[in-house]
Structure 1
């Protein structure tokens, strides 16, 4: 992937969000003092990666004098659609939706399109009515690291979440990576809310079926929360033979990595992604609901137990310290 081009495209995504904030407001002739109104439909407070990007975006938007309103549907599709329709009634300039699969939001997207309001998605994918998607990479670096660590043999507990587009993308890459190996994947579905407890329970049951004196073992988690839940189960079972892999580089995930609890994660630069989306907002608002859709891939960085110290030097405070 061309990192520079990806960042430029992501910047367009940021512009999309920024634009949304402005469309309902006023603007000067030179466009330099545009004000926007943006309605943001969050995914769930427990999904810290999307929440982190939204938080950074809101900071930038409010500092620019934009009006930003957020709604929390707590991972419920019907509530997300209701929030979108509320924002349509409020005549915002842009609607931003976090992490929901865009194809499940049909009626909300239809309402926005009929009102001429563009919709930007964070990792939900392109669908009718979505003019910009700030997507995630497939994270192939995590399966590659796991396969290398396991010597291409063994068994892995796969903790995923079918409704989430990021998990769909990452699990597809995992499946393809494992095709030519001797690693067997045991897939289990994590629930949201309650992902920590769910993954802990699933891992406990899996450990009971896979003793420590057998083949190489690992846990592949679609994001860091299930990885942390898996660690609790592994620690309680007093097992040291299972390596854990996650995604998103959350503060808790990075701390766990530094403490040797997990082997690797894949971390986005949330502040940079939010800035890109912020910068792109005006053009997204100007383009309107019928603009040609743009799908942008956000770059991620592989962080392992070998490179965590170096990563934290380059990204101070990323672990919440």
Structure 2
């Protein structure tokens, strides 16, 4: 009886160790996010994970919480763990040089979502400026030539940096629009959006001309909406970018003017599906952008958009 028990235990141990080894043999895909709980980041990660699962890869996400040093450390960590590839979410390639060097030394491709192409980056998508353009153009058309604008910016991320540069470029042609800029934090963007809006509203009372608030992505603008609603201000137009569920709901309810929906789930999915091609090509791979066009959402088309894309509202 003792010998049989030992034999069964040995067999169980072998089966268990074989299963663990098989799990460890799965290629590791590393994802480094600037804010892993932010709605647009969540959608991108969801798409990336779905593609990774289809490829038979293990997907690991590290939240760098808006800190470039943490992003570099995360990429270095994935390189040490022998990841098959790394996805950098939003941190500009110029801010992750140490991580890129570690990945390059280990022969691991790095792709970016909104981080641009440069250094050792193999591909990018989700580039900030093209997605923001339709919203900025609509905002300028809505405001006219004499107006005051609060711009909520964020310069650590390449996406918002590029969107701010585009805003500056467009507004240079409209000198009658007076701009106040405030940079929000990650984390803390909702609170900062509300706080900066309160200060700006105090110096821009109702009836003081055309007024608007623009967020380089939706969430700071949504924070500003909370201040507008608390003060009963209905005279201020609000614009965001990315088209998260809260923004779409705010447009539907008349609290936000427009956003540009970024199909970030598809962006994450498409980027990961491209990785086997990059890995196979090795040094022969030519870096490229694989963009997914944005969709402008406003009161004019929000109902039709929701009907066509119920998943964008979480339904």
- What TM-score, normalized by structure 1, do the two folds share? 0.85
Which stretch of the first structure deviates more once superposed, 191-200 or 177-186?
Answer: 177-186
- Return the alpha-carbon distance in structure 2 between the equivalents of residues 231 and 210 of structure 1: 15
Matched, 1:180 2:176: no
Matched, 1:306 2:300: yes
Matched, 1:166 2:159: yes
State which of 146, 150, 166 in structure 2 corresponds to 1:153. 146
Structure 2 contact 126–267 (Cα < 8 Å) conserved? no
State which of 113, 130, 133 in structure 2 corresponds to 1:122. 113
SS in 1 for 2:191: helix
RMSD between superposed Cα atoms in Å: 1.7
Post-superposition Cα deviations, 1:11-45, rounded to whole Å, max 9, x if no partner, equal: xxxxxxxxxxxxxx98xxxxxxxx74311112212
* Divergent runs of 4+, >6 A: none
Unaligned runs of 5+ in 1: 1-24, 27-34
SS in 1 for 2:45: helix
Matched, 1:287 2:252: no
Give 1:50's aligned residue: 41
Unaligned runs of 5+ in 2: 1-23
- Superposition pairs of residues 1-321 of structure 1, within 5 angstroms: 36-138=27-129, 139-181=132-174, 182-288=176-282, 291-321=285-315
SS in 2 for 1:168: helix
- Superposition deviation, residue 61 in structure 1: 1.4
Q: 1:128/1:210 Cα in 2 relative to 1: closer, same or farther (>3 Å)?
A: same
Which stretch of the first structure deviates more once superposed, 36-45 or 199-208?
Answer: 36-45
Higher helix share: 2
Bigger relative contact order, structure 1 or 2, given CA contacts below 8 A and separation 6+? 1
- Superposition deviation, residue 272 in structure 1: 2.5
Post-superposition Cα deviations, 1:226-248, rounded to whole Å, max 9, x if no partner, equal: 11111011111211110000000
Which stretch of the first structure deviates more once superposed, 124-133 or 192-201?
Answer: 124-133
Structure 1 contact 38–92 (Cα < 8 Å) conserved? yes
Structure with higher Rg: it is 2
Post-superposition Cα deviations, 1:53-109, rounded to whole Å, max 9, x if no partner, equal: 111210221143212222122221111111111111111111111111111111111
- Superposition deviation, residue 290 in structure 1: 7.2
SS in 1 for 2:313: coil
- Return the alpha-carbon distance in structure 2 between the equivalents of residues 111 and 289 of structure 1: 16
Structure 1 contact 247–265 (Cα < 8 Å) conserved? yes
- What TM-score, normalized by structure 2, do the two folds share? 0.87
Structure 2 contact 44–269 (Cα < 8 Å) conserved? no
Post-superposition Cα deviations, 1:248-288, rounded to whole Å, max 9, x if no partner, equal: 00011111111111000001122322332232121111233
Q: Number of residue pairs matched?
A: 289
